[in-house]
């Protein structure tokens, strides 16, 4: 089984950390391919960043389809481009916010999302509602830490994140923590040991969900909304994203 973990930002050091996290929980025999797009923002902390990240993400999905990838994890807590990726891929695709929230709902009565900047909290609440998880989500909290600060030498990001997670338990009444950034993946075990509650990292959750979906031979339905995009001319800088018509044999296989 080959799983592609796509960090939609272009910070390769974060991608390496994300890939290591995925490999640490993957089953024996699962190959993890961790990548960043060739184009896009260095970090994703706004709707503008998300929009600019999607073309590079979709390029990586298209490349994975040529390389025989079995399933994909979108390793950004905003789950950018998730539905478009599902339209493009033959195998299953999950986002880490989607994966983390669903797993958190199975191990506690309520969870708090602890994320980076306050300006991203609205998107986390939006996804909780879209995924049917709002009734489990006690709160979304921000540490006011920029994503790239997680990579900075000497940063006190770890201590600040632990402190915010502790406040979430004390003030929100939650019994589970969801880490709201792929760049926090390496902190999951440490925070869980310090606080003594389930801490869910979406990279690990997404990796194991994709393994399960592939093993069960479950992929995105191509009937209706998430069918392959219709071929059409695309102009300008995005001209290379125009899709060819799907051969009849491939349509039947999908």
What are the tens digits of pLDDT across the range 121-179? 999 999 999 999 999 999 999 999 888 888 777 778 888 999 999 999 999 999 999 99
Q: Which residues pair with 137 in a beta bridge?
A: 111
List the one residue out of 101, 127, 89, 125 whose CA is nearest residue 206: 101
Residue range 62-75: mean pLDDT, rounded: 96
Query: Which residues does 186 contact at the CB level (< 8 Å), separation at least 6?
Result: 17, 20, 21
CATH number of the 97-201 domain: 3.40.50.12500
List the one residue out of 103, 89, 71 whose CA is nearest residue 4: 71
Q: What is the pLDDT of residue 246?
A: 62
**pTM (2 d.p.):** 0.91
Which part of the chain has CATH 3.40.50.12500? 2-96+206-253, 97-201
Here the tokens at position 30 are 């699962």
- Say if CB 62 and CB 30 are below 8 A apart: no
User: CA 35, CA 208: separation in Å to the nearest integer?
Assistant: 18
Q: What is the dihedral of CA 21, 26, 28, 32, to 10 degrees?
A: -70
What are the tens digits of pLDDT across the range 73-125? 999 999 999 999 999 999 999 999 999 999 999 999 999 999 999 999 999 99
Q: Hey, which CATH number is domain 2-96+206-253, 3.40.50.12500, 3.30.70.20, 2.60.40.1250, 3.40.50.720?
A: 3.40.50.12500
């Amino acid at each position: 089984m080959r799983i592609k973990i796509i960090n939609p930002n272009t910070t390769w050091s974060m991608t390496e950390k994300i890939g290591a996290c995925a490999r640490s929980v993957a089953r024996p025999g699962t190959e993890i391919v961790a990548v960043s797009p060739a184009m896009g923002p260095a970090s994703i902390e706004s709707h503008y960043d998300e929009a600019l990240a999607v073309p590079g993400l979709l390029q990586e999905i298209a490349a994975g389809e040529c390389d025989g990838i079995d399933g994909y994890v979108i390793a950004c807590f905003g789950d950018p481009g998730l539905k478009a990726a599902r339209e493009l891929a033959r195998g299953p695709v999950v986002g880490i916010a989607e994966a983390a929230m669903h797993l958190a709902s199975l191990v506690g009565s309520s969870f708090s999302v602890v994320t980076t900047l306050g300006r991203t909290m609205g998107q986390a609440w939006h996804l909780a509602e879209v995924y049917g998880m709002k009734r489990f989500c006690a709160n979304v909290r921000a540490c006011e830490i920029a994503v790239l600060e997680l990579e900075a030498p000497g940063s006190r990001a770890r201590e600040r994140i632990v402190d915010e997670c502790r406040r979430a338990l004390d003030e929100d009444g939650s019994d589970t923590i969801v880490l709201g950034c792929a760049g926090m993946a390496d902190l999951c075990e440490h925070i869980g040991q310090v606080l003594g509650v389930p801490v869910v990292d979406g990279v690990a959750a997404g990796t194991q969900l994709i393994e399960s979906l592939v093993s069960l031979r479950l992929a995105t339905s191509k009937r209706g909304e998430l069918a392959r995009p219709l071929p059409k001319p695309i102009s300008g800088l995005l001209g290379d994203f125009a899709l060819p018509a799907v051969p009849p044999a491939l349509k039947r296989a999908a």
